[in-house]
Amino acid sequence: MGCGCDGCESMMQPYLDGMLSDEELAEAREHLERCPPCEKRYRFEEHLRHFVRVAADEQMPEELRQRLAGLRSSPPAAQL
């Protein structure tokens, strides 16, 4: 359950988003150095964001690419 400190939990997103003031950031860093459970949860959050980005990725179908190219008003530059 982390270190039982609600402050660290609510600081996590602003910390990772780079939204803390210098003072808050120094305070958060100092705490993380002393608190492996919180540090682990912060690292997990970073991994999770990456995992979500990768998991949500879906390739554009080639057929759609061709349809989009067909919408253009002009011939490709190479033909000009």
Partner 1 sequence: MSEAAPNAAETRRIAEAARDRVRFEEEALELSDQVFRVARRLVGSREEAEDLVQDTYARAFRSWRQYQPGTNLRAWLLRILTNLNIDRGRRVQRTPDTQPLEEGDYFLYNKLESSIADENPDEERVIERLSQNSVVDALAEVPHDFRDVIVLVDIGEFSYADAAQILDIPVGTVMSRLHRGRRILKQLLAEKSVIA
The site for partner 1 (CB under 8 A) is made up of 1-2, 6, 9-10, 12-14, 17, 19, 40-41, 43-45, 47-49, 51-61, 64-65, 67-69, 71-74, 76-77, 80
Residue type, 31: H
Q: Which is nearer to partner 1, 26 or 68 (CB)?
A: 68
Q: Which is nearer to partner 1, 22 or 64 (CB)?
A: 64
The least distance separating partner 1 from the CB of residue 26, rounded to whole angstroms, comes to: 21
Q: What are phi and psi of 58, to 5 degrees?
A: -135, 130
Contact (CB, 8 A) for 15 and 25: yes
The least distance separating partner 1 from the CB of residue 22, rounded to whole angstroms, comes to: 19
Q: Which residues contact 6 (CB under 8 A, 6 or more apart)?
A: none
Rounded Cα distance between 1 and 7, Å, is 13
The least distance separating partner 1 from the CB of residue 2, rounded to whole angstroms, comes to: 5
